[in-house]
Amino acid sequence: MTSTGVNPYGANDAYCRESITAQEKHIGAAPVLRAPDGMAEMVTYLPISSPFIRFAGRYVDDAFGVAAGYNFFVFEAMLVPFEITACNVIIHYWSNVVPAGGIIAIVIVMYGLINLLAVKWYGETEF
């Protein structure tokens, strides 16, 4: 099935329509899939660093780009305590030998060491 007409979802529109008609279980996933696919097409057209923030400023408004940048920072800043808590919960599921404060200190030190290493190693640990 081919897409007719111009839409902001690009080439993936035909695939999503076909998957919806072929298998009804994809109805909920198709709209969610369109956002990253649209971003992938935009980055393919204009490859730049920090595409979410820069595209928000370029295609919507500069103020929206600033807001997207602050939103990204807050999200990443909140992710660190979440990962520390998740690590603490997982380790305490196995054993209660190490106290929670010790696990938190170890994870924070590991974050610091990973950030001091080369970008290659930081990317590998995040993967």
pLDDT in single tens digits along all 127 residues of the chain: 444 555 555 555 555 555 445 455 556 667 777 777 888 888 888 888 878 888 889 889 999 999 999 998 999 889 889 999 999 999 999 988 989 999 999 999 988 888 787 676 666 666 6
Question: 8 in a domain, yes or no?
Answer: no
Residue 5 gets the label, from left (phi > 0), alpha (psi -120 to 50) or beta, of left
Domains: count for the chain? 1
Does 63 reside within a domain?
yes
User: Are the beta carbons of 127 and 119 closer than 8 angstroms?
Assistant: no
State the Rg of the chain over Cα.
Answer: 21
Give this prediction's pTM.
0.55
Would residue 116 count as lying in a domain?
A: no
| Burial call 58-97: b when 16+ CB within 10 Å, e when fewer | eeeeeeebeebbeeeeeeeeeeeeeebeeebeebeeeeee
